[in-house]
Chains A and B, each alone.
Chain A
């Protein structure tokens, strides 16, 4: 398992968080679980980088936070995407795809 884990390139974490929140409002724990799950354990988000990222995104106004009740009936801080966050997600997704495509083409050179 450990060998499958890779480090995230700079800025990718923000994109993943935004994408995860685009589906539904979530709290921090669920975000990291979701990313790990969907990436089949390749991407593991550390608490030490997840929460600063969440606070940074909140400051930029791309996500907003409110306190809610979690599935196990505890108070948890939920984040949801704002309108400008959604636009940001679209932009970043497009940029990422372009980059991935380009890098792929270069790597596939014969």
Chain B
């Protein structure tokens, strides 16, 4: 075998030398034969002639020797590649059209794939990521990953199955450096063994170690990310040893993490790492969660490494026994009691993006596969038309002795080269498209950082689909084009089509294209329409002119500080007065929540029927409803007199609450109880979706700030302006500053932007699928146009005859367009059931993304079909007109 390979290689690379040897060898044989004949008495000339005749063709023998040496195949392949290059560069228009349509298909696929890769599969840049496991708990199919600190500590100290168990918890830190505030910095609290477990070494200074994580608030040290080092310190080498303030406490910077390190969660990029024991300081909004044995918040993620030889199931059982000893209690109730502990592989890290975006990404993957199919069908149509045009070339080569296999191979090489070209352009497009797509992922407070640089997996994927498509769209035309009866094709280049029914393959391809695009269009239509339904809003209400801002005066993020509520209430009322006075402000109000961050208490209310109902109880200030465009169905908004703590308890409720509580009776003026406290309903507002966009609106009780004792007091300011919000914003900042100098104003967005952030999955899918739908329409249009234009040329004579026999121009136009319509009809006959079947199969995936309609929505299906028909008519009109202009005499003389 080895000998064989070496022999072939030598045959290939030392070709000239071997050719010479072969010539010499055969010449020697010939000479000896001549000698022998001359000895028998022939003259030299006679002998040579005789020898040549006897020995047969010299060249043929040489060729057979080459073949025996195994040179021919490789050499012929090189020849084919060179030839393909020449052929393709001779028709740049064709090459460009095919390359572009493949590049779009391959690029779209690679882009989605690289996102899936970055979010789902990319391996953590830490030591031996395959050995990492993440502890999760849950029941059935749903597992989550938070534990209480007590559970973590017990599992860390007492387990027999892990070499170590580390913990971390993401947190938003209030950082200031040299007095300059940086209100939202993504940080992470980490256990002392976190960096040693991950095997990550700092690029400067030292890492947080167990000695830094012993006593609550005991070791104010921090590590910063490479990114943060550059952003805030300009890569100053002396940064280690300097201090920064987190929630007012001074922390010493002890080290810098490596540039590629982002913790264990894909998509997050924490900038500051502090020991877990610093929790009470850096998370002042929360109580101390380290010591309190009854606290029940599951806020730490636990991450470990299995001991060698320990099986995952065995480890989970061991850890579960420990975890059960520290089940947190909420009142008399233990939410984790029936849950099991499981270990998730940690090799690719962990990500909430993965939970949130896996469905949309896989749906998009399905969509781009359809796009690729259409692009392939399109390319095959083009290749088929071209192969037809090259028919006499093939016939000539066959007549000269080429085997059919050789021609098929030649055509396949051409299509593979096109596919590779398309793949290369596609990879470039993918880079750009993936970045465009990540812009959709909501970043909230922390930027989403994904490594999208193409790795071997992504490149392999792109190469794979390029080659598969190359063979897929190349094989059928190649087989068709080379199936030639020798005599007929050399004689006439084009006439064969009528007899051979060569258009049939083109028609099949067109039907496929129509069917696939219809599936795509119906899908896109469903997503777009449900986004529209989600987005439907009050008539005349412009979301762009409402600004939503977060304001957090000092102390608003702390719980139950005596006197804080009254002070905050004064600040807020003052702020509202100041803001309302700003020119350009139509109205202003405040609420505890924004569409992207739902905050508010939740209480149980007894219904008259005796049933209990959970209701959402957010704090609001007067003007909120007017500002955000929620109309009153009855009653009034809060007035200044309702705001004081000692005023009678009042509430504005939404329609759902009013109906549940009082049925058809008017709710305004009625009373209800929260606990033992009677509240009067002063107004009923229409249900709004701002608290829950996708599901049902919860029963909601809006209450004034001071009448609601939830402890914390962060509010969002809503301002409705006239004209451009950007012009009003600076004056709003001034108003905020003049109310309270230390009050940060941040996350300024328009209401439209807030809602867009909530509807990100829906928007992502609707935008991407509809743009791919448009792309599919263009491809179908081009494909149909190409096919019909080609058909018209082929049938020139037939048209001529018809017109000579009295067909009008309109008869001819209709004939061509009818053909297009028949193709669309057949394609639709396949596409609609296919779309319905796809909708049924994917129903559990897409039903969560469809709102207010089903996957069988007739209006959507009808619209998609109508759109496609329209496109088909447009595509067929130009060829049809050309057909109608045929001069019968010219057409008949043509052949």
Task: Tell me the A residues contacting B by CB distance below 8 Å.
Answer: 27-29, 32, 46-48, 51-53, 55-56, 58-61, 67, 70, 72, 74-77
Contact code string B281-309 (vs A, CB < 8 Å = 1, else 0): 00000000000000000000000000000
B8 proximity list for chain A (CB < 8 A): 59
Most chain A CB within a 10 A radius of its CB, from B24, B26, B30, B65: B65
- Within residues 538 to 583 of chain B, which ones have a CB less than 8 A from any CB in chain A? none
Contact B61 A52 (CB under 8 A): yes
* 5 sample A-B contacts, Cβ–Cβ < 8 Å, listed by A number: A29-B32, A51-B26, A52-B65, A58-B69, A74-B28
Contact code string B1-23 (vs A, CB < 8 Å = 1, else 0): 00110011000000000000100
Contact B64 A48 (CB under 8 A): yes
B56 proximity list for chain A (CB < 8 A): 46-48
Contact A52 B25 (CB under 8 A): no
Q: How far is the CA of A77 from the CA of B85 in the complex (A)?
A: 39
B65 CB to nearest chain A CB (Å): 5
Contact A59 B29 (CB under 8 A): no
Contact B61 A48 (CB under 8 A): yes
Contact A56 B68 (CB under 8 A): yes
| Given A29-B32, A77-B24: A48 and B67 interface contact (C-beta under 8 Å) | no
A59 proximity list for chain B (CB < 8 A): 3-4, 7-8, 68-70
Most chain B CB within a 10 A radius of its CB, from A27, A29, A56, A60: A29
Q: How far is the CA of A75 from the CA of B27 in the complex (A)?
A: 11
Contact B65 A29 (CB under 8 A): no
Q: How far is the CA of A76 from the CA of B24 in the complex (A)?
A: 8
Report how many residues on chain B are interfacial, defined by Cβ distance under 8 Å.
26
Contact A60 B24 (CB under 8 A): no
Q: CB < 8 Å: which of B7, B32, B61 contacts A51?
A: B61
Contact B28 A77 (CB under 8 A): yes
| Given A52-B61, A58-B7, A75-B24: A47 and B29 interface contact (C-beta under 8 Å) | yes
Q: How far is the CA of A59 from the CA of B56 in the complex (A)?
A: 24
B795 proximity list for chain A (CB < 8 A): none
Query: Residue of B at shortest CB range from A27?
Result: B28
B31 proximity list for chain A (CB < 8 A): 74
Known: A52-B61, A55-B68, A55-B69. 20 other contacts (CB 8 A): A27-B25, A27-B28, A28-B28, A29-B32, A29-B33, A47-B26, A48-B64, A51-B26, A51-B64, A58-B7, A58-B69, A59-B7, A59-B8, A61-B4, A61-B7, A72-B35, A74-B31, A75-B24, A77-B21, A77-B28
Q: CB < 8 Å: which of A55, A58, A76 contacts B28?
A: A76
- Within residues 36 to 83 of chain B, which ones have a CB less than 8 A from any CB in chain A? 55-57, 60-61, 64-65, 67-70
Closest 5 pairs (CB-CB, A-B): A55-B68, A52-B64, A61-B3, A56-B68, A47-B55
Contact A55 B65 (CB under 8 A): yes
Most chain A CB within a 10 A radius of its CB, from B8, B26, B32, B69: B32
B48 CB to nearest chain A CB (Å): 14
Q: CB < 8 Å: which of A28, A52, A55, A56 contacts B29?
A: A28
B32 proximity list for chain A (CB < 8 A): 29
A34 CB to nearest chain B CB (Å): 13
B64 proximity list for chain A (CB < 8 A): 48, 51-52
| Given A48-B56, A61-B3: A53 and B68 interface contact (C-beta under 8 Å) | yes
| Given A29-B29, A29-B33, A74-B28: A46 and B68 interface contact (C-beta under 8 Å) | no
Q: CB < 8 Å: which of A51, A72, A76 contacts B65?
A: A51
Query: Residue of A at shortest CB range from B62?
Result: A51
Q: How far is the CA of A73 from the CA of B71 in the complex (A)?
A: 31
Query: Residue of A at shortest CB range from B55?
Result: A47
B55 proximity list for chain A (CB < 8 A): 46-48
B5 CB to nearest chain A CB (Å): 10
Q: How far is the CA of A46 from the CA of B21 in the complex (A)?
A: 19
Query: Residue of A at shortest CB range from B51?
Result: A47
Q: How far is the CA of A27 from the CA of B70 in the complex (A)?
A: 22
A62 CB to nearest chain B CB (Å): 10
B446 CB to nearest chain A CB (Å): 65
Q: How far is the CA of A61 from the CA of B65 in the complex (A)?
A: 15
Q: How far is the CA of A63 from the CA of B31 in the complex (A)?
A: 24
Contact B25 A77 (CB under 8 A): yes
A21 CB to nearest chain B CB (Å): 15
Most chain B CB within a 10 A radius of its CB, from A28, A32, A52: A52
B32 CB to nearest chain A CB (Å): 4
A45 CB to nearest chain B CB (Å): 11
Contact B57 A48 (CB under 8 A): yes
B4 proximity list for chain A (CB < 8 A): 59-61
Q: How far is the CA of A72 from the CA of B35 in the complex (A)?
A: 11
B67 proximity list for chain A (CB < 8 A): 52
Q: How far is the CA of A56 from the CA of B32 in the complex (A)?
A: 23
Q: How far is the CA of A29 from the CA of B36 in the complex (A)?
A: 11
A28 proximity list for chain B (CB < 8 A): 25, 28-29
Contact B57 A51 (CB under 8 A): no
Q: How far is the CA of A28 from the CA of B68 in the complex (A)?
A: 16
A48 proximity list for chain B (CB < 8 A): 55-57, 60-61, 64
Query: Residue of B at shortest CB range from A44?
Result: B54
Q: CB < 8 Å: which of B21, B28, B68 contacts A29?
A: B28
Q: How far is the CA of A48 from the CA of B58 in the complex (A)?
A: 8
B361 CB to nearest chain A CB (Å): 52
B30 CB to nearest chain A CB (Å): 8
Query: Residue of B at shortest CB range from A30?
Result: B32
B3 proximity list for chain A (CB < 8 A): 59-61
Q: How far is the CA of A75 from the CA of B65 in the complex (A)?
A: 20
Contact code string B751-788 (vs A, CB < 8 Å = 1, else 0): 00000000000000000000000000000000000000
B77 CB to nearest chain A CB (Å): 18
Q: How far is the CA of A53 from the CA of B67 in the complex (A)?
A: 11
A32 CB to nearest chain B CB (Å): 8
B137 CB to nearest chain A CB (Å): 65
B4 CB to nearest chain A CB (Å): 6
A83 CB to nearest chain B CB (Å): 12
B68 proximity list for chain A (CB < 8 A): 52-53, 55-56, 59
A46 proximity list for chain B (CB < 8 A): 55-56
B61 proximity list for chain A (CB < 8 A): 47-48, 51-52
A77 proximity list for chain B (CB < 8 A): 21, 24-25, 28
Q: How far is the CA of A21 from the CA of B64 in the complex (A)?
A: 22
Q: How far is the CA of A29 from the CA of B28 in the complex (A)?
A: 8
A24 CB to nearest chain B CB (Å): 17
